Each structure stands twice: as C-alpha cells, then as structure tokens.
Structure 1
C-alpha cells in the first residue's frame, strides 16, 4: 500500500511539473526571470515593436488618422510601423537572442527524472500455487555537467553573441533603408503636388491673360492674333495641368504603398516649408570616416564575419575530447522492478575521446573556413557599396544646395519681369508675346523653386541615411 501511495505522489509531482512548464511557456504575464532566465534579451525587445532603437521608445498606434495633412514625420512613423521588413528584422533579433540563451545554457548542468509504475507477474505452469504478482515503481534521477571541452562552448557563445550584434545592427540598417525610401517617396509626392499647384496657378494666369486680351480686342486695342496666341497659351497650360494631375496621382500612390496604406486612400500633404542652404554639407572625407565606423550595415557584416570565424573554432573543438561529471539515483532498480526495495546511487567522470568519425569533423572545419571567407568577402562588398552610396549622396546634396539658391534668385527675377511686362502691356508698350514669355518663365521658375526645396530636404536626409546617421530626431517630432 505504501508503494502505491509513493507512486501516486511521484506521478502527481511529475504532472505538476509538466503543468508548470507549460504554463510558463504560454503565459504572457510571468516574470522576466522565467521568460529569460539567462538574461539574453537585448533592451530593444523589452519595448515591443518600436519605431527606432531609442529611449524613450515610441510604440506604434493601433489606428492611423489621416484627417490632418501628412507631415514627413507622420509618413516616416506610419511607414516604419507598417513595413514588413522591420517586423522581420525584429523577429530575427528575438531568434538570435534565443540562440544566445542556448549557448549559455551549455555551461549549466542538466537534470532529469523519471518515474515508472510497474506491474510484474511471474507464472510457473508446473506450480500454479507459486505464481506471484507484484506492483511497484522505479524512480530514477540523473545529473550531467560538462566540465571541459577544449573551448567549444566558449567559441559557440562568441559566435552567437556576434550574430546577435549583427541582428541588432541589421535592424538599424533596415530602419535606415526604410526611412530613406519613405523620405524619397514623400518628397516625390510633395514635388508632384506642388507642381500641380503651380500648373493650376499658371492655368489661372493664362485664363486671366486670355480674358484680358479678349476685352482689349473688343475695345479695338489688340489684334485678333493676340487672342489666338493667348488661347494657345491657355490650352498649353491646361494640358500641363492635366499631366501634373496624373503625376500627382502616381506619386501619391507610390507613397501610400511605402506607408502600407490602401492606394485608394485620399492623401493630404502638409505644405513644403521654406528651406534654406544654411545646413552645411561637411567634407566628403568626414562622411566617409563616419560611415566606416557607424553604418549599421557595415557593423552587421563585420559581426557576421567575426561570428563565422568563431564557428571555425567550434568546428575544430567538436573533434576534441570532453569531460563530464555524471550522477544518477535509482530507486527499486535501474534495469527493472526489483522484488526488494532498494536505492542505488552512482557518481562518476566520463571522458569522451573521439577516435574516428569518417573524416566528418575535417569537412566541418573546411566548411566553416569557407563560410568565414565568404563572410569576409561580403564585408568588403558591403563596405564598398555603402561608401559608394555615400559619395553619390554627398555629390547630390552639394549640387542641390547650389541649385536651390539659384532657383530662389531666378524666381525673384521672374516675378519682377512679369510685373514689369504686365504694366507695359496694359499701357500698350509691350505685345502679347512678351507677356506670355515672361509668364511662362515665371511658371518655370516656380517649379524650379519647388523642386529645389524638395530635392534639398530629400538629398540632405538621404545623405544621412547613406552614412547610417539618419536618426528619427532628424525628421521632426513624432506623429503619435
């Protein structure tokens, strides 16, 4: 009877342990000590899905309100929240943090326990009266602790830690890339929208000029050719406005795609603020030095290379001897149920010496070495590609700074020319061709000014992104 009670208690303990482990794995409200007992999670994961690895972190909203005009800051926030690449890189950090935990766990002992309720029946055909039935259980518990392995665990831990750093850097690089794409799409949409506004203003001006010419013709102070030329200019302005409308729809659709919003959504954009060239575009050598030291894509590639080098050490160590401390406890036998109650304890040291594995370890080392060489080549390729992007972005930023200043001077001159020509035309001192010419020049100057503002802001931020220095604070206040 006592054996049955003991067996029942042991089964209850095993069941309770199983329920506890299951609850720990599925419950979201358990302490972090149980979720991450070896403290492998980087702080970024504790914030959940965030816009940028910054403090305090900005979490994504559950709903997006587009009733207000969309600013660049709002576009970046929405795009970062909805972009699947960022979600994938965030999940990669979680997976690699778990891999770091597995590497750290190899330093700890492993414990195991088993209970086996048994029923043993012995029959003697020639002596039925000697038949016996015995109920009982066996209980076993074991501990194993690796004491020495020639650095395999250390190399594995280094490789996983390097890979975690690479995953964190890759997450930042993904954010930089996504922000750069959103910035480019946003200013393309801004340029198209401003172009549409400028074309509409040109159409309105052409309409006013046509009506004024018609009145002058009826009064006999203008020739019919003036009205025909004014009508032609109006038709051209209306055609240009229609083309601008199509370009505006296309650029708005592209921006909505990057934001992860349905293309049919009505999009209102905040107006472009006046931009100046007071921002200094530092020397190219400064940008190249900054990029080489801080760009997350280069950091990620470098950490991957170091992880691959550590995996070569792991492959070499796997073919070396290991030393383990083991201990076991058996109750009521360890090869089957014994008739008499017993307790057996064993303690020992196990030295495992690999003698021959069919040259498997040799080829594992060769493969790890080849992967390390591949990672080194990828590092050089990433470094070269990133620096090339910085050189291009720097050249574009320098060029557009001068272009914006020239566009502002051109716009002032065009406005003065239109005002002067309008006064002269009203007094009959200028013909319609002169007036239409200066009006066309003003429309072109307005477009160049709009393009200059958008290109300056876009290229300035794209240079920061190319150098890996585009922080969320460079764009403006958070939209949420």
Structure 2
C-alpha cells in the first residue's frame, strides 16, 4: 500500500496542484553547457569575495557607502518621496524654503529675532527629528507601493560530495542554479488600505513637521523677547544705579556745605546699595534668559562652540492692531493649523489600518514561477543537466488562526479611538494657546499708550525734582521717591512692549500662520 503524497504548499520551491510541473528541460535556441555555468559561478564568487575583502579593509564610512550603492542603486524608484524633501519646506506665505548652511553657525552681532528663528529652524533637534520623520514615512509609502510589484530571486550553489569506493562512486561536484518569481495578483484590499494608510501617515509627518516649526518659532519668539526685556531691564537698572550715585554725590556735597544732613547721606547710600542689588539680579535674569534662548535655537551653551549672545535693543514703535478677532483666529486654526491636520491624518491612517487588518484575513491569489537547473536549493543534487520549470497560480484561504485576526482588528479599532481622543486634545490645546495669546496681546496693546504716558510723566518728575534738589528746595526723600517711580515706569514700559510683540507673534505661530516673511514685516527689531 502506497503512502499518501505530501500536501503541496504555495511556494515556487514546492508547486501546488494547479501548477504545471514540466519534468523535461525547456528548449532554448542556444543551450548553455554546465562548464559555462561553472565558469560564471566562479566569476561571481570571485567578485563577491573581492568585495567582502575590500569592505573589511576600507574604513567603516566607505564600507557603508559602498554597501548602500550596491543595495540601493536607485534613490526613489517608486516616486514615494514628496517634493518637500528636495526643494525644502516653505512656511505659510513664504515663496521658498529656508536654506540651512552645513556646519557650525557663527551668530551675528547683534542677534535679531529673524536670525534667532532661522537658527532654531535649522539646528533644533525636534525640527531635525520631524524632518527625518518625513523621510521615514516616505520610505513606508514606498514599501506599500512595492507590494504591487513582483519579487524575483535567483541563486547558485555548488555541492561537492564524496562516497566510499564500495558504492561505485568517488568524488562528485554538482552546480545548481535557480530563479523564482512571486507576484500577488489579487487580495481583498489589504495592499490598497496599507497604501492609503501610508499616504495618510506621510501627510501626518509633513503636517507634524509644520507644527514643529510653528512651535519652535513660538518658543523662540517668547524666549527672545524675554531675553530682550531682561537686557533692557538690566540697562534700566544700570541707569538707576548711575542716577543713585549722582544723588549720593549731591548729598555728600550738601553735607559738606552744611546744607544737607547725615541722615540724607545715609538714605542716599542705602538707595545706591539697593540699586546695586537690583542691577545684579537683573544681570542674572538676563544671563538665564540668554541660556534659555540658546537652548531654544539649538545652539551649544557650553564648550568651545558656545558663543556669547548680544541682542538687538528694543525700539519704542507701536505695531498695528490685531487683524482678526478671537473667533476668526480660532476658526482659522481649526482649518489650517498643522498640528490639527497632523492629528486628523493620523486618525485617517488608523481607520485605513482597520481595513487592512480585516483584509489580511481574507483570500488572496498569488502567481509563482521558477526555473531550476541541476536540482533545487537545499535539496539533494539532481541529475546533471536537469531543468525544472514551474508556473502556477495559488489561492490562499485563511481558515483559522486561533482568533489572532480578531484581536488584531480589535487592536486597530482601539487605535482609532485613541487617535480620535488625541485629535480632540490637540484641538483643545491649540484653541487654548490661541485664546491665551489673543488675550495677552489685546491687553498689552491697550497698555502701550498708558505705559508711555507713565514713563514720560515719571521722567518729567525726576527732572523737575532734580533741579529742586540741586537748589536745596526739595529733600532727599522726594528725590529718591521720584527716582524709584522712574525705575518702575521704565520696567513697565519694557514689559508692556515685550508682552505686546511676544503675544502678537506667538498668536500668529499658535494659529499656524507664522512665517519668515511675516516676521520681517511685523516683528521690528
């Protein structure tokens, strides 16, 4: 009784029942002799061995470059990379993208806000990571498109066997060659769903990069104006200290002439000490703000590459009013903000993954073809000169996988719910940031005129009391009070200007509308 034949599998090495297995060798116009095959095999082996030896002798960088050229001779054969990877990413309203110079950047003196933003967009690690994320998703899209194409494999082997003399055979050397093709013809939509998901993820990566740019610009804007305000505050404290020393000198002269008193001189010395203390604190705050700005720009804060920053001094020019009200800002953000667009694209990709996971458990049709000379790989050598050609179509029907597919679908559905929650969270966060920046900008805009009038009044009061004090009409208390009021008015003016410019530009960045052209027009140094 004969044993049952083994069940065939869908593979080019083991043809199915629908495959046609022709045992006779195919006719060729010019059949190649086994000696020619052996010669080709030796030549190929010699080339590969030479490349392996050369790779071990070359430096690691050259070895990696050589392997990259051998394994990926074409940069983008399926046109999966978006044009942004070639031409750069222009910001909203800009005509062209920012060109980053390789190598360390030398900071300009003094550093303007536009230069600080350019450095952040080129050097910040989060921006660079978002740019690399676009490349990763472009490669994933290429893999999804490659699923529609066939895969072709070829190989060669040489087997040398030796048997005992009793078997009537000595040493035998056999060379075998094969080529196999596999091509999925039909499926239940898994490849199409994976391709749509890859498209959505690429859009999410591009939008996420835009959101990272806007976030980096908003962060740099806030820290730049903090540093600029602390710089102006330090200068104002230095002026207050100089004025306090002048008051002390006047008090000493008045005491020497017998016009003033010892308590007045002590009060003036106390005021000088207080001014020195406030100046030291202002310098510390300014250095702290510069360190934070350096980190936001991606510049080193220590080591040989660290550079000392000096900022453009703030001007006292009022900027125009806000173009839109809060409701219009929020509506614009819902439609155009890159973070919201990225979260929506992630949600779309998750929904396509559900369809792809379901389709992977449905039937599919594959085409396979192969040609084998002198036997098949990983099998005993066949008869010399034997050719085996197979062509077949196989139908794969998944019947039972231990309910694994069920839980994969449930997991994909859970990812959809997770992305929906993340989308709502991003929308709430963006709307909150816009509302906060809008309120701050509106309040600072209303306070600009008041702070200017306060500073002008305090300066006039100091000038008037200084003349009276020099003439002996006013006492030291009036002079010190007027000087303290002037210092407070200067701080309020600096703070109000910084709050206005920072909140206005952060509002543009939080709404996803910040660009270098807008910055050049609106953000005056």
TM-score norm. by structure 2 comes to: 0.82
Preserved CA contact (<8 Å) 1:180 1:462: yes
Aligned equivalent of 1:70: 111
Change in CA separation of 1:8 and 1:52 when aligned onto 2, cut-off 3 Å: farther
Distance, in Å, in 2 between the alignment partners of 1:255 and 1:396 is: 21
Aligned equivalent of 1:218: 256
Distance, in Å, in 1 between the alignment partners of 2:301 and 2:86 is: 31
Q: Which of residues 319, 329, 335 is equivalent to 2:371?
A: 329
Q: Which of residues 348, 352, 358 is equivalent to 1:310?
A: 352
Aligned equivalent of 2:137: 96
Q: What 5-or-longer segments of structure 2 have no aligned partner?
A: 1-31, 56-61
Secondary structure in 2 matching 1:35: coil
**Residues 170-225 of structure 1: per-residue CA shift (max 9 Å, x gap):** 12212222222222222211111111110110111111122123323333444444
Distance, in Å, in 2 between the alignment partners of 1:67 and 1:463 is: 27
Alignment of 1:401-440 (within 5 A): 401-440=445-484
Which stretch of structure 1 is more off in the superposition, 430-439 or 352-361?
430-439
Aligned equivalent of 1:262: 301
1:182 aligns with 2:220: yes
Q: Which of residues 177, 182, 193 is equivalent to 1:155?
A: 193
Q: Which of residues 251, 267, 273 is equivalent to 1:235?
A: 273
Q: Tell me which stretches of 4 or more aligned residues in structure 1 moved more than 4 Å.
A: 13-20, 22-25, 27-30, 50-54, 120-124
In the TM superposition, what is the alpha-carbon distance from 1:322 to its structure 2 partner?
Answer: 0.4
Preserved CA contact (<8 Å) 1:52 1:58: no
**Aligned pair count?**
473
Q: Which of residues 275, 287, 293 is equivalent to 2:329?
A: 287
Q: Which of residues 355, 372, 375 is equivalent to 2:419?
A: 375
Distance, in Å, in 2 between the alignment partners of 1:464 and 1:359 is: 51
Preserved CA contact (<8 Å) 1:140 1:330: yes
In the TM superposition, what is the alpha-carbon distance from 1:265 to its structure 2 partner?
Answer: 4.5
Q: What 5-or-longer segments of structure 1 have no aligned partner?
A: none
Preserved CA contact (<8 Å) 1:51 1:80: no
Secondary structure in 2 matching 1:34: coil
**Residues 421-465 of structure 1: per-residue CA shift (max 9 Å, x gap):** 233334444333223222221121111111122221211111112
1:449 aligns with 2:487: no
Q: Which of residues 278, 295, 301 is equivalent to 2:343?
A: 301
Q: Which of residues 365, 382, 389 is equivalent to 1:338?
A: 382
1:277 aligns with 2:319: yes
Aligned equivalent of 2:396: 352
Aligned equivalent of 2:121: 80
Aligned equivalent of 1:12: 43
RMSD between superposed Cα atoms in Å:
3.1
Change in CA separation of 1:45 and 1:67 when aligned onto 2, cut-off 3 Å: closer
